[in-house]
Chains A and B, each alone.
Chain A
Amino acid sequence: DGGITQSPKYLFRKEGQNVTLSCEQNLNHDAMYWYRQDPGQGLRLIYYSQIVNDFQKGDIAEGYSVSREKKESFPLTVTSAQKNPTAFYLCASSIVGDRSYEQYFGPGTRLTVT
């Protein structure tokens, strides 16, 4: 899982509560990403950031928020507006500016909301 850490590995919350998932990388990568994984649906992009203090919505940003105050950190907040938040969340990072393009993934956080 490289130099990307996600915590906690498992997270349980009651419906209506906001929850923040942590993602830290020590790879000195400029770009970071958040994906949601549901069985049979592959990975769907929530948000991404290519530089500090800037981020863009992905394909399923509704009900989520992010910040990018430091290069190594990209926390994701799952808000109470997210209708179906139970899922496996994956953070990734990549170099910007060369032709590598591959992303490196953290171990994931499994969120269960009841």
Chain B
Amino acid sequence: AQSVAQPEDQVNVAEGNPLTVKCTYSVSGNPYLFWYVQYPNRGLQFLLKYITGDNLVKGSYGFEAEFNKSQTSFHLKKPSALVSDSALYFCAVRDGGNNRLAFGKGNQVVVIP
């Protein structure tokens, strides 16, 4: 089965500083990778995806992610964090030949004013 790992439980960053949320993947074949964000007591919101093409993927709210095949990583980045970016972030990978997604455990991001 395909899987993703998010090695950090929480990321703290000062407002205005760059934000990075890490994700590594384990797949057989080509990976289809996703990032989602969840605010408290809400559903997940889709941020961006990598299917094929450019290794740098741009998404919603100023986020981008870099696909690195040699390091099997798909880290989420934002050049300048906002307090409103404080949320839970999930990395996911397409799992098998259907539309299933396998999610990581999530990363709590805290942006400090």
**Cα A9 to Cα B105 with chains together (Å):** 23
Which residues in window 6-51 of A have CB below 8 A to B? 6, 31, 33, 35, 40-43, 45, 48, 50
Whether B43 pairs with A1 at a CB distance below 8 angstroms is yes
Contacts of A110 in B (CB 8 A): 41
Known contacts A99-B51, A101-B32, A101-B51; A1/B105 CB under 8 A: no
> Closest B-chain residue to A32, C-beta based?
B99
Does B11 sit at the interface, judged by CB under 8 A? no
Q: Mark B29-44, 1 if CB is under 8 A from A, else 0.
A: 0001010100001111
Range of interface residues on B (Cβ < 8 Å): 20 to 34
Contacts of A58 in B (CB 8 A): 100
Range of interface residues on A (Cβ < 8 Å): 20 to 34
Question: How many A-B contacts if CB must be within 8 Å?
Answer: 59
Does B74 sit at the interface, judged by CB under 8 A? no
Of B36, B51, B99, B103, which one neighbours A94 at CB under 8 angstroms?
B99
Give, as a whole number of angstroms, the nearest-CB distance from B34 to chain A: 6
**Cα A106 to Cα B41 with chains together (Å):** 11
Whether B42 pairs with A108 at a CB distance below 8 angstroms is yes
Contacts of B84 in A (CB 8 A): none
Contacts of A88 in B (CB 8 A): 41
Most buried by B among A31, A42, A103: A42
Give, as a whole number of angstroms, the nearest-CB distance from A49 to chain B: 10
Whether B42 pairs with A107 at a CB distance below 8 angstroms is yes
Which residues in window 86-101 of A have CB below 8 A to B? 88, 90, 92, 94, 96, 99, 101
Contacts of A1 in B (CB 8 A): 42-43, 45
Whether B43 pairs with A42 at a CB distance below 8 angstroms is no
Does A74 sit at the interface, judged by CB under 8 A? no
Does A55 sit at the interface, judged by CB under 8 A? no
Whether B46 pairs with A42 at a CB distance below 8 angstroms is no
Which residues in window 28-74 of B have CB below 8 A to A? 32, 34, 36, 41-46, 49, 51
Whether B43 pairs with A90 at a CB distance below 8 angstroms is yes
User: A residues bordering B, Cβ < 8 Å?
Assistant: 1, 4, 6, 31, 33, 35, 40-43, 45, 48, 50, 58, 88, 90, 92, 94, 96, 99, 101-108, 110
